[in-house]
């Protein structure tokens, strides 16, 4: 029976499904079709590998050392900058 063969993933499918696959969001059939394609498509193996690496990098960056201190510092800087802007417009107006 060749019933399952027309449900094979194409490279395009794999590209679209790769996030779902890595998140485990694909159903059992979807996962099987995905793996079946990737298993004999070197292009998609590479694609998946690159994707995993990208996710790894993003995962590292997902934890930025953004302390409340640096946030209030940035806000203070912004306020100061706004104040300077305000003074500028004040001195521009003729007395």
- Binding site residues, Zn ion, CB under 5 A: 11, 41, 43-44
Q: Return d(Cα 36, Cα 13) in angstroms, integer.
A: 12
Of 11 and 77, nearer to Zn ion (C-beta) is: 11
Query: Cβ contacts of residue 34 below 8 Å, gap of 6+?
Result: 9, 13, 14, 17, 21, 26
Tell the smallest beta-carbon distance from residue 19 to Zn ion (Å): 16
Joined together, the tokens standing for residue 13 give 């499918």
Tell the smallest beta-carbon distance from residue 13 to Zn ion (Å): 8
Of 32 and 41, nearer to Zn ion (C-beta) is: 41
Tell the smallest beta-carbon distance from residue 27 to Zn ion (Å): 20
Of 53 and 80, nearer to Zn ion (C-beta) is: 53
Query: Using alpha carbons only, what angle is made at residue 55 by residues 53 and 58, rounded to the nearest 5 degrees?
Result: 115
């Amino acid at each position: 029976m060749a019933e399952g063969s027309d449900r094979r993933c194409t490279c395009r499918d794999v590209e679209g499904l790769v996030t779902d696959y890595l998140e485990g969001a694909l159903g059992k059939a979807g996962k099987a079709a995905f793996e079946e394609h990737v298993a004999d498509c070197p292009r998609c193996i590479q694609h998946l590998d690159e994707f995993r690496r990208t996710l790894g990098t993003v995962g590292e960056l997902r934890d930025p050392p953004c302390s409340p201190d640096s946030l209030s510092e940035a806000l203070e800087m912004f306020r100061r900058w706004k104040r300077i802007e305000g003074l500028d417009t004040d001195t521009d107006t003729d007395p």
